[in-house]
Structure 1
Amino acid sequence: MSPRALSPLPAVLATTLLLAACKPTAPATKAPATEATPPATAAVTATPDATAADDNLNAVLWVQRSAEYRALTTQTYRAAADHLDAALNAAHWDALVPDERGNASTGLKPAVIMDIDETVLDNSPYQARLVQQGKEYDEVTWDAWVAEKKAKPLPGVVDFAKAATAKGVTVLYVSNRAVHLNEATLANLRSVGLPVASDDVFLGLGTVVDGCEQHGSEKNCRRRLAGQKYRVLMQFGDQLGDFVQVVSNTPGDRNALLDEYGDWFGERWWMLPNPTYGSWEPALFNNDRAQPRQARRAAKRDALDVAP
């Protein structure tokens, strides 16, 4: 998750999903951005009603205030660190799917691929502003937030990244933050203690990869680029598209991908919780972000599984 910034999660759906909990170019985020890129929906300009329900209120509060969220991110990075030596010592260990590994990985320098938004950096203050102002994600406010360079690291990520670096593993940031946000993003990463080996470890949305055509905010071309130079030991993200290309963003096809690669999670792939936005959401309303907010909400309510 750059933000692959997706539309805010409805309160009813958020309440249901939080128990399972687990851009934002366009929070898919932390942005559809698959890292999902934030949808380019227009901001709501009406004066917010302090008593009106907001779809994303519970989700943002859970990220910011719950001990459970901190526990989940910490245990994820701690468990990943425990697998580093096994990954390093297994010569054929590779976290890229075969279709994205265009060359032999043996003999290449080791690396891990990390999404940024809601995987490495916490953008919940930006989401909180949207809740308070009754707005939705838009590129102008998102770029302004990134320029502030105030995002904090997720619990556990700095310790993991430093442990990986100490073992000679390069941290690559494959993000749906646009390439023009490069400077502010790298400054933010450095300011919170995350390793940045060089400016080219940031592969943002818009990175040109020779011989590979990128579709929307999909990251497959940039993962291929990373694989040309590195043996990818692990991938980290908050969206399914942070790990593998989502060709058809429907609930059925997304679940089919999980069935195919489910065994990779907890060893090669590590998913971080993000109830505030994601590419799963537009999959529920036919990926039509141009619909009015109420229409999108109605489609999501219809998707609820209500016991008879």
Structure 2
Amino acid sequence: MTKSLSALLGTALVLAGCANQASHAPASAAPIAPAPATKPTVAADDNLNAVAWSQTALEHDLVYLETYRSAQSQLLTALKDKSWDALPTEDRTAPYKGLKPAVILDIDETVLDNSPYQARLIRNGGEYNEADWAKWCKEKRARALPGAVAFTQFAAKHGVAVIYISNRSQDLDTATIDNLRHAGLPVSGPDAFLGLGTILRGCDQVGTEKSCRRQLVGQHYRVLMQFGDQLGDFVSVLSNTDAGRNQAMVPYTKWIGSRWFVLPNPTYGSWEPALFNNEWSAPRDQRRQQKIDALRVD
């Protein structure tokens, strides 16, 4: 084989190898698929299980039905007993003898279900704020909680005034009354809603405490029952600590289930800030850690 022939054969083999490699290489013209867009993740929220339970658990609805049915079964007995009164001692500032009968109910998570607002906070990764809360209230879309309509209508039918004491601000009165009526709850008039900002002359309002408004009701009515999801719906809590909360309830534990009816609310309430010394200004992760530290493990 001559030198020139060997060179030609070598060149041919090199070209064949390149061709073989090229046949297995990806086509340079093929487009590269873009990476799928990822939805921004929302940070874990301590309130997820609480709101999910409130919205989906049958047990939640059964507790409300049980509470309101129990109250309804006792209402006529309370009505006939002229010595029956459900105001705490410090709020009974006027004699109740001869006064018309009434029941006092909180609104939020007592007769109206605001869990959709809480669900929005979880999905958006936010926390409660006055502007968003007012916007939700003005939507007037909160549904009645199980048993609340039947009980309040029963009370109204038997001549018992239905009074709502709420820490919704007084400027939400129209929207709130519209929502109550739309949900089927009886509202005799604007005086049936006593929101935050209602003034009782001679009584000093302390924060969001409801004592002055209970006293106002007590001037006109003998209160047969009270309903709420917070201790402050029944009695003034002077110190929002474990000890202070327990002390406020000690004189009235015998009234639970007969004059006072407490409904469950794991989504929010004064019980929560009691776990972190009522310091809402503390960073969210710090408050969370203090709640974890408050858990019992034995």
Q: Which TM-score tier does this pair reach, normalised by the shorter chain? A: 0.7 to 0.9
Tell me the percent identity.
Answer: 57
The match for 2:261 is: 270
The match for 1:30 is: none
Counterparts of 2:150 and 2:166, CA distance in 1: 20
Query: Do the aligned partners of 2:61 and 2:146 also contact (CA within 8 Å) in 1?
Result: yes
The match for 2:117 is: 126
Counterparts of 1:239 and 1:213, CA distance in 2: 21
1:250-270 per-position Cα deviation (integer Å, ceiling 9, x unaligned): 111111223321111100000
* Cα distance change of structure 1 residues 146 and 51 upon mapping to structure 2, 3 Å threshold: closer
Please give the residue correspondences for 1:120-269 in structure 2 after superposition, counting only pairs within 5 Å.
Answer: 120-269=111-260
Structure 1 residue 98, shift from structure 2 partner: 1.3
Counterparts of 2:46 and 2:135, CA distance in 1: 23
Counterparts of 2:248 and 2:289, CA distance in 1: 27
Give the secondary-structure state (helix, strand or coil) at the position aligned to 2:219.
helix
Please, what TM-score do these two structures have when normalized by structure 1? 0.83
Counterparts of 1:134 and 1:287, CA distance in 2: 21
The match for 1:63 is: 54
Give the secondary-structure state (helix, strand or coil) at the position aligned to 2:261.
strand
Counterparts of 2:43 and 2:282, CA distance in 1: 20
The match for 1:13 is: none
Counterparts of 2:91 and 2:40, CA distance in 1: 48
Counterparts of 2:40 and 2:242, CA distance in 1: 33
The match for 1:54 is: 45
Structure number with the bigger relative contact order (C-alpha 8 A, sep ≥ 6) is: 1
Letter of the aligned partner of 2:284 in structure 1?
Answer: R
The match for 1:106 is: 97
Letter of the aligned partner of 1:217 in structure 2?
Answer: T
Structure 1: unaligned runs, 5 residues or longer: 1-47
Q: Between Structure 1 and Structure 2, how many residues are aligned?
A: 260
Q: 2:291 aligns with which of 281, 285, 300?
A: 300
Letter of the aligned partner of 1:90 in structure 2?
Answer: D
Give the secondary-structure state (helix, strand or coil) at the position aligned to 2:222.
strand
Structure 1 residue 51, shift from structure 2 partner: 5.7
Larger Rg: 2
The match for 1:41 is: none
The match for 2:77 is: 86
1:249-307 per-position Cα deviation (integer Å, ceiling 9, x unaligned): 11111112233211111000000110000101111111111111011111111100112
Structure 1 residue 49, shift from structure 2 partner: 5.0
Give the secondary-structure state (helix, strand or coil) at the position aligned to 1:75.
helix
Structure 2: unaligned runs, 5 residues or longer: 1-38
Query: Do the aligned partners of 2:105 and 2:164 also contact (CA within 8 Å) in 1?
Result: yes
1:63-109 per-position Cα deviation (integer Å, ceiling 9, x unaligned): 00000000000000000001101110110100001111011111101
The match for 2:22 is: none
Letter of the aligned partner of 1:138 in structure 2?
Answer: N
Letter of the aligned partner of 2:124 in structure 1?
Answer: Q
Counterparts of 1:215 and 1:51, CA distance in 2: 37
Counterparts of 2:47 and 2:89, CA distance in 1: 37
The reply on whether 1:116 has 2:142 as its aligned counterpart is: no
User: CA-atom RMSD, angstroms?
Assistant: 1.0
Counterparts of 2:247 and 2:238, CA distance in 1: 11
1:157-195 per-position Cα deviation (integer Å, ceiling 9, x unaligned): 000001001110010000000000000000000001100
1:179-215 per-position Cα deviation (integer Å, ceiling 9, x unaligned): 0000000000000110000111100000011000011
The match for 1:284 is: 275
Letter of the aligned partner of 2:53 in structure 1?
Answer: W
